[in-house]
Amino acid sequence: MDPAGGPAGATAVRPTPLWARATTSLRRPAFWLVLLLVVAGAWRVAVILGDGFRIYPVATTVAIGLFALYAIPFWLFVDNVDYLEREPPLLLLTAFAWGGLVATSTAIPGNAAITNLLAKQVSTGFAASWGPAIAGPTTEEILKTLGIVAVVLIARAQVNSVLDGVVYGALVGLGFQVVENMIYAVNAVGAAGAGDQVGPVVTTFFLRGFLAGLWSHTLFSALAGAGVAYVVVRIDRPLWLRAGVAGGALVGAWLCHFLWNSPLLADGFGYGTLGVFGALLLKGIPPLLLVLLMVRHARGREAEYYVGHLAVLNDPGIATPAELRILGSGRQRAEARRYAHGRAGIRGRAAVRRLQLAQARLAVELSRAAPSGIGPSVDGAGLYATGDVARRFREVRTQRRRLLALGHPEAVASPRAQPAWQRWLTWLGTATVVVVALAVAIGALGGG
Amino acid sequence: MGTGRYRLLGNLLAGVAILATIVAISFGLPAVDRALPADRPVAAGRPYQVGAGVTVVPPPAAVVDVTKTRPAADRGSALFVLDTVRYAIVVTPFDGSLDQAATRLRRKITDNRGYQVLGDSRSAATATGVPGRQGGYTAPGRTGRYAVFVAGGLAVDVTISGAGPTLRDALPKITVSVASLTFPGRA
């Protein structure tokens, strides 16, 4: 609990007020402006890809299809990061569309202009080597961050925590990454000069989707998004500090992007394929770890807050102490579902999943009903006899009854769950396999 | 004015600020770029580094367009302008045959709307004996020549385009320049 008496992390989370409705956004000028920009961006991207389709219909279709599929697991992962307080799908789609349509179509002329100016003012060699490292981050990070600001302008009430900023930022970055890669793939087909072949598309898919995909725009914009959300959420902090954090996050995103695009270590220390791969890891892993640690911290703060609202109910029918301990952790929630599967089959797994979801929804509704951060009285169900909170209470109790009927009363992990050292060993093994596979891919695709 | 109106005004102003930034990047930066000249003189009679160690002696009185010139360690491009004739050289890593490189260049040309290659390609060679293929093409309002050379894991694509009489006048000088192409290790 916070010293103020509310759930822990109360100042780090600002629940969506009860008055907030999706239709409220329609009254905001920024909504119509964003809509206009998205339509204009869609037209410009359609023209670019349409040109590709006219000359290379098969390759362009494959490029669009492959990268659209590629976006799905990323989207699901990003959405699941904020399990307890899910963001409205329409707002997530807006963030994705901004990144894919507005930011990409605006960045193309901007990047070309900056690279040309470098060639004019410095030298053509400098523009060739450092142009992508200077132009790309400068225009693209600003444009993508504007997308997160646009989300705040449309639905400020939905940006409740730093984690929300990470989610919206990641979606803006994902949209940018996906559409940019589609354009790169079609350009690669043209550069190959072999006609309507899918080979260059597949090569681009592996090089840009996998080798560069883990530490690309999704990551950079997640960092910038955390900064924007900090400004919105942490109103307990002075404005200069919040602005400083947001500026620092944007600079951090710029630096990560700059490092990735820079020609530094491009020769792979002179060690061929392995050297190139080592250089990619050296450039990509520090930002990845930085953002993952930030997400972990932000998610922990948010989980403390929402789980705290369930904890003050002190009602094992709603959530047992063991369930409260695991609700904020994606890994432990998954372990609880696996344990239920082992004991009660697929129906047990589904019942635990539904109970966890119902508990999360109830926690969010309780937080909305008590925006001061002070939780409801212990007699929660009685206090909220009507409305959304009461509906969520009923939902949790219904799911609890289903779980009980399956002979599996509590949604917890197995007491014989895999110990931490085994999990780390599994991760290490998986990472090693991925590293070897990627090194082989680089070699096969001529990266050495 | 009530608080609600102030909020709406703030929302509008913030939206306008976003729009202004997008306009600045999308149109402002390109306008600044266009306002500055892109042509630079090149030293007469001296080899010019195109990229990946490939050099060429530019035609007399030619200028280089720095916005289309990008020398790099493993590839490169250069665009020379002679009057209104555009003389472009593109160097890329290439592990195929000369015929494959010629087919690739012809396809790149015809991928442009309204561009057509004229007949089959003929043999060509640089002054240092690197074999190549050359031919002609037409584009809306312009005619052009192309040449391609392959050596040392590199392909060099040359395209020359301009309006009829101007191109005719410039071609002899450019032909001499094309012959001056050198590849790394084949001086």
pLDDT 10s digits, B116-125 = 999 888 999 9
For residue B77, give the nearest of B162, B169, B154 by alpha carbon. B154
- Is residue A96 classed as helix, strand or coil in its secondary structure? helix
With contacts defined as CB-CB under 8 Å, which chain B residues touch A149?
A: 14, 18
A33/B104 CB distance under 8 A: no
| pLDDT level of residue A207 (50, 70, 90 thresholds) | confident
For residue B70, give the nearest of A16, A124, A93, A158 by alpha carbon. A124
Query: How much is the pLDDT for A378?
Result: 43
Quickly count helices (H) and strands (E) in chain B. Answer: 4, 11
Query: How much is the pLDDT for A441?
Result: 67
Q: Map tokens 């119509």 to a residue.
A: A32
Max avg pLDDT among A387-391, B30-34, B135-139 = B30-34
Amino acid at B118: L
CA dist., res. A16 & res. A11, Å (int): 14
Q: Can you give the length of chain B in residues?
A: 187
Q: Can you give the length of chain A in residues?
A: 448
Query: How much is the pLDDT for A5?
Result: 46
Measured in angstroms, the CA of A71 and the nearest CA of chain B are apart by: 25
For residue A356, give the nearest of A308, A312, A302, A396 by alpha carbon. A396
- Average confidence score pLDDT of chain A: 87
Query: How much is the pLDDT for A8?
Result: 55
B29/A114 CB distance under 8 A: yes
Closest partner residue to B33 (CB to CB) among A28, A116, A142 is: A116
Closest partner residue to B30 (CB to CB) among A109, A142, A150 is: A109
A110/B30 CB distance under 8 A: yes
Closest partner residue to A125 (CB to CB) among B30, B67, B71 is: B71
Q: Which residue has the higher pLDDT, A387 or A73?
A: A73
User: Could you read off the pLDDT of A147-198 as tens digits, one per residue?
Assistant: 999 999 999 888 989 999 999 999 999 999 999 999 999 999 988 888 899 9
Query: Which of B8, B11, B12, B25 is the best residue to mutate to test the A interface, defined by the most A CB atoms within 10 Å of its own CB?
Result: B25
Query: Which of A27, A36, A94, A116 is the best residue to mutate to test the B interface, defined by the most B CB atoms within 10 Å of its own CB?
Result: A116
| pTM, two decimal places | 0.89
With contacts defined as CB-CB under 8 Å, which chain B residues touch A27?
A: 8
Measured in angstroms, the CA of A404 and the nearest CA of chain B are apart by: 50
Task: Confirm if A302 and A9 have CB atoms less than 8 A apart.
Answer: yes
| pLDDT level of residue A2 (50, 70, 90 thresholds) | very low
CA dist., res. B135 & res. A30, Å (int): 55
CA dist., res. A335 & res. B64, Å (int): 64
Question: pLDDT > 90: what percent of chain A?
Answer: 59
Write the CB contacts of A142 (distance below 8 Å, at least 6 apart in sequence): A250, B21, B25
Assess whether pLDDT exceeds 90 at residue A418. Answer: no
Q: How far is CA A319 from CA A300, A355, A357, B86, in A?
A: 18, 9, 12, 74
Least confident of A63-67, A362-366, A383-387, B67-71: A383-387
Least confident of A6-15, A327-336, B168-177: A6-15
Q: Which residue has the higher pLDDT, A263 or A250?
A: A250
Measured in angstroms, the CA of B26 and the nearest CA of chain A are apart by: 5
The residue of chain B nearest to residue A31, with distances taken between CA atoms, is: B15
A192/B27 CB distance under 8 A: no
Say whether residue A109 is in contact with chain B using an 8 A CB cutoff. Answer: yes
Assess whether pLDDT exceeds 50 at residue B92. Answer: yes
Say whether residue B70 is in contact with chain A using an 8 A CB cutoff. Answer: yes
For residue A171, give the nearest of A82, A78, A260, A263 by alpha carbon. A78
Q: How far is CA A225 from CA A33, A260, A291, B168, in A?
A: 20, 19, 11, 58
Say whether residue B125 is in contact with chain A using an 8 A CB cutoff. Answer: no
CA dist., res. A375 & res. A260, Å (int): 45
- Is residue B180 classed as helix, strand or coil in its secondary structure? coil
| pLDDT level of residue A444 (50, 70, 90 thresholds) | low
Residue A311 backbone phi and psi in degrees, to 5:
-65, -40
DSSP code for A23: G
Neighbours of B118 (CB within 10 A): 13
Query: How much is the pLDDT for A149?
Result: 97
Average pLDDT over residues B93-118: 92
B30/A192 CB distance under 8 A: no
- Is residue B54 classed as helix, strand or coil in its secondary structure? strand
Report the interhelical angle of A239-261 vs A217-233 (nearest 10°): 180
Which pair of tokens denotes residue B82?
A: 């002679």
Average pLDDT over residues A223-239: 94
| pLDDT level of residue A426 (50, 70, 90 thresholds) | confident
With contacts defined as CB-CB under 8 Å, which chain B residues touch A129?
A: 72
| pLDDT level of residue A253 (50, 70, 90 thresholds) | very high
Assess whether pLDDT exceeds 60 at residue A4. Answer: no
Assess whether pLDDT exceeds 90 at residue B103. Answer: yes
A120/B36 CB distance under 8 A: yes
For residue A226, give the nearest of A139, A140, A301, A164 by alpha carbon. A164
Say whether residue B23 is in contact with chain A using an 8 A CB cutoff. Answer: no
A109/B19 CB distance under 8 A: no
The residue of chain A nearest to residue B67, with distances taken between CA atoms, is: A116
CA dist., res. B64 & res. B31, Å (int): 20
The residue of chain B nearest to residue A29, with distances taken between CA atoms, is: B12
Question: How big is the A-B interface in CB pairs under 8 Å?
Answer: 108
Measured in angstroms, the CA of A106 and the nearest CA of chain B are apart by: 5
Task: Confirm if B147 and B117 have CB atoms less than 8 A apart.
Answer: no
- Is residue B69 classed as helix, strand or coil in its secondary structure? coil
DSSP code for A417: P
For residue A133, give the nearest of A117, A164, A111 by alpha carbon. A111
- Rg of chain A's alpha carbons, rounded to an integer? 24
Assess whether pLDDT exceeds 80 at residue A129. Answer: yes
Say whether residue A120 is in contact with chain B using an 8 A CB cutoff. Answer: yes
Query: How much is the pLDDT for A17?
Result: 73
Strand partners, A65: none
CA dist., res. B107 & res. A392, Å (int): 63
Bridge-based pairing state of the strands B154-162 and B85-93: antiparallel
Neighbours of A21 (CB within 10 A): 12
Q: Taking the mean position of all CA atoms in its chain, how far away is CA B21?
A: 31
With contacts defined as CB-CB under 8 Å, which chain A residues touch B15?
A: 29-30, 33-34, 150, 153
Q: Kindly write down the DSSP assignment for every residue of B113-160, as one continuous string.
A: TT-EEEEEEEEEE-TT--EEEEEEEEETTEEEEEEEEEETTEEEEEEE
Assess whether pLDDT exceeds 90 at residue B187. Answer: no
Closest partner residue to A195 (CB to CB) among B15, B69, B107 is: B107
Assess whether pLDDT exceeds 80 at residue B106. Answer: yes
The residue of chain A nearest to residue B90, with distances taken between CA atoms, is: A191
CA dist., res. A70 & res. A329, Å (int): 26
For residue A172, give the nearest of A202, A152, A201, A187 by alpha carbon. A152
CA dist., res. A307 & res. A10, Å (int): 11
Amino acid at B5: R
Say whether residue B6 is in contact with chain A using an 8 A CB cutoff. Answer: no
Write the CB contacts of B173 (distance below 8 Å, at least 6 apart in sequence): B59, B60, B82
Average pLDDT over residues B134-154: 93
B66/A124 CB distance under 8 A: yes
CA dist., res. B172 & res. B180, Å (int): 13
Which residues 370-409 in chain A show a CB within 8 A of chain B? Answer: none
Say whether residue B18 is in contact with chain A using an 8 A CB cutoff. Answer: yes
Least confident of A70-74, A219-223, A371-375, A413-417: A371-375
Which residues 16-35 in chain A show a CB within 8 A of chain B? Answer: 27-30, 33-34
With contacts defined as CB-CB under 8 Å, which chain A residues touch B8?
A: 27-29
Q: ipTM score here?
A: 0.91
B26/A110 CB distance under 8 A: yes
Q: Which residue has the higher pLDDT, A242 or A436?
A: A242
Closest partner residue to A119 (CB to CB) among B66, B76, B104 is: B66
Average pLDDT over residues B46-53: 95
DSSP code for A386: S
Neighbours of B183 (CB within 10 A): 21
CA dist., res. A391 & res. A414, Å (int): 30
| pLDDT level of residue A443 (50, 70, 90 thresholds) | low
Least confident of A157-161, A167-171, A270-274, B88-92: A270-274
Say whether residue B110 is in contact with chain A using an 8 A CB cutoff. Answer: no
Query: How much is the pLDDT for A373?
Result: 46
